[in-house]
Amino acid sequence: MISAYRTGLVAGSTVSRQHPELPLEKQKFAAQEEVIKREKLGVAHLIPEEDFIKGFLAGYHTSTLLPDGLTLYSKQ
């Protein structure tokens, strides 16, 4: 199982490729939206949510990561 931080890192990187110029507040909002998507999918390891959000914000500024299966699945 990958960590909440790593999941956030990948999700943030994916969002940055789709929307590369979001201001910080919109990045935080996008992170919250991703948390909600994953909670609806029953992804229990997003606790602690803070780690996911930290990873998401870091990943938003990292464009070299490839999406993992969870990110691809959550897009459906």
User: Could you tell me which of 66, 56, 67 has the C-alpha nearest to residue 4?
Assistant: 56
First to last CA, the chain: 21
| pLDDT higher than threshold 60 for residue 76 | no
User: Could you tell me which of 28, 12, 25, 23 has the C-alpha nearest to residue 61?
Assistant: 12
Task: State pLDDT tens for residues 10-62.
Answer: 889 888 888 989 999 999 999 999 988 888 887 766 678 899 999 999 999 88
User: So where are the chain's domains?
Assistant: 4-74
Q: Which residue has the higher pLDDT, 71 or 46?
A: 46
With b for 16 or more beta-carbon neighbours within 10 A and e for fewer, the 31-52 pattern comes to beebbeebeeeebeebeeeebb
| pLDDT higher than threshold 80 for residue 65 | no
Cis before 48? omega within 30: yes
